[in-house]
Amino acid sequence: MEERMPLIGEKFIQIEVQTTHGKVKLPGAYTGKWFVFFSHPADFTPVCTTEFVAFQKRYDEFKKMDCELIGLSIDQVFSHIKWVEWIKDNLKVEIKFPVIADDTGRVANLLGLIHPNKGTNTVRAVFVVDPHSVIRAILYYPQELGRNMDEILRMVKAFQVADKNGVAMPANWPNNELIGDKVIIPPATDEKTAKERMKQYECFDWWLCHKKL
């Protein structure tokens, strides 16, 4: 069977990896927790350094949502350790999440992180994984574009609210242009429910109803 990168709704790959915090089995090490797996092109590069600082600055916010972070690049673990030390010594930021050393490219190939037309390093990928080890979202950025960490935080929070309440989240939630921080009721699937929806919730129409949590 041909290997391919996993898709949204599928389980994260099972693999043991070497990290700056020792060997870790994925996704088992995070069973029962959310985690954000992200790749970066290379250690000791400017955009990646800003990203690591940005992730660490928000690490406590991720932890409050019971969400862990784990990074990866195709550098060796020695490079990761030295780079993390450099960030602490020079930028006064201590990186507290583990970083995977994928110097063989094994994990990168399994997850489709190397795009030949964008060089031989890993692209900036993000996998948001839920407590059941199911991939809920995948983001890919090219090497030249740093990520927006607040959007990744927003995604985890939105997924948790959606799962808990059986609702969907509007664009730019919680600052949507139409309904603010309200959430969307899943569309009715029969005529009776469609009529009842208009009485139960605030609606633009029976298929676009919303409520305040």
Catalytic residues: 48
> Which amino acid type is present at position 172?
N
58 marked among binding-site residues? no
Give the ranges where 9-58 is alpha helix by DSSP (H).
46-57
Neighbours of 24 (CB within 10 A): 18
Report the alpha-carbon distance of residue 189 to residue 198 in Å, rounded.
14
Report the alpha-carbon distance of residue 130 to residue 198 in Å, rounded.
33
First to last CA, the chain: 46
Please say whether the beta carbons of 65 and 6 come within 8 A. Answer: no
Q: Collapse the DSSP code of 159 into the 3-class scheme (helix H, G, I; strand E, B; otherwise coil) and give the result.
A: helix
CB proximity list for 164: less than 8 A, separation 6 or greater: none
Q: Collapse the DSSP code of 37 into the 3-class scheme (helix H, G, I; strand E, B; otherwise coil) and give the result.
A: strand
Known binding residues: 124
Known binding residues for substrate: 124
